[in-house]
Structure formats: C-alpha cells, structure tokens
C-alpha cells in the first residue's frame, strides 16, 4: 500500500509488540487500574498520525495478539479495535487538523467506545466485570495521548 514511505513493517510490528508488553508489565495494584490500553493507543496513532497508514488488518492482528496475551475470549479486542479504527480512519483528516486538546477529546471518545465494546462482549459471553473502576483506564489513556503521540512521532522520524 505505502511502499517507500517512512515506516517499514518491522518497525510497526516492533512498536505493536512493545505496546503489548506494556499491557502486561507488572505494576503496583493502584497503578494497574489506571493502566491505559496501550495497544488501542498505538493502533489509533498508526491510523491517525503516522507517516505511514496501517489499516484495519493491523488493528485486527494487534487485537488478536492482545486476546492471546491476556487469555480472554479470542476475537474480543480484535472486534473492538477494528471498530474504533474504522471510525478513526473515516474521520482521519478532520482529527489530524484538530488542536491537541480537541484531538485528546476525540481519543477519549474512541477509547470509551473501545472499552464499551469490550464491556458489552464481556457481558454477552457471560463474564461481566461490573466494577466501575474498569472505566478509569479510559481517561488515563486519553491523558497519555499527547505524550505517546509525540514519543511515537520521534521514534518514527528516526531512520
């Protein structure tokens, strides 16, 4: 699709694997609840801001890997991630033009949609987690967005 532009697949896969590792990195309990969904943030960055677009297939693969990593229902994160990637890709040109604060608000909405789909699938499959604290990861993820996007931009710009 985008041969010859900035990022090659090795780097994309490496960044995705690092995001996956960050999702299971052991943290103290109070911080664990606030852990942002790094994979969702990475997938969103790739489809919104990266010099090379990755598409739904990247989101789907990353989602499946996340399912395998956390040992949850296979296809659950994959489903949620392709939906938010679809929305983000549709709105891509608008979101790119937004000032940072507004961009963060859109990310907040997308992450909320992601978490809602996961919550829904959890419920349908009979493993509901009704603890309100599960939603804390959404604002935490949005708060991390400016930092993560600038970090990724720096990493992607390196040759």
Helices (H) and strands (E) in the chain, counts: 8, 0
In sequence order, the 6+-apart residues with CB closer than 8 A to the CB of 143 are 36, 104
Binding flag, residue 113, another protein (CB under 8 A): no
Distance CA 9, CA 59 (A): 14
Identify residues 63-92 at the interface with another protein (CB under 8 A): 63-65, 68-76, 78-79, 82-83, 86, 89-90, 92
> Strands (DSSP E) along 9-145, which ranges?
none
Binding flag, residue 27, another protein (CB under 8 A): yes
In residues, how long is the chain? 159
**Contact characters 29-48, another protein, x per CB under 8 A:** x--xx-x-------------
User: Which residues contribute to the site for another protein (CB under 8 A)?
Assistant: 1-6, 17, 20-21, 24-27, 29, 32-33, 35, 52-53, 55-57, 60, 63-65, 68-76, 78-79, 82-83, 86, 89-90, 92-93, 121, 125-127, 129, 131, 133-134, 159
């Amino acid at each position: 699709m985008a041969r010859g532009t900035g990022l090659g697949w090795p780097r994309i896969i490496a960044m995705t694997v690092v995001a996956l590792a960050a999702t299971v990195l052991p943290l103290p309990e109070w911080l664990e609840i606030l852990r942002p969904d790094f994979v969702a943030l990475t997938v969103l960055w790739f489809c919104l801001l990266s010099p090379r677009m990755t598409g739904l297939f990247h989101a789907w693969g990353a989602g499946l890997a996340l399912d395998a990593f956390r040992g949850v229902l296979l296809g659950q994160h994959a489903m949620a991630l392709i939906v938010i990637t679809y929305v983000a890709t549709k709105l891509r040109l608008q979101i790119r033009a937004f000032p940072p604060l507004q961009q963060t608000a859109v990310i907040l909405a997308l992450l909320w949609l992601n978490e809602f789909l996961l919550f829904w699938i959890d419920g349908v499959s009979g493993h509901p987690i009704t603890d309100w604290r599960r939603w804390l990861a959404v604002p935490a993820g949005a708060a991390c967005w400016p930092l993560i996007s600038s970090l990724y931009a720096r990493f992607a710009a390196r040759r």
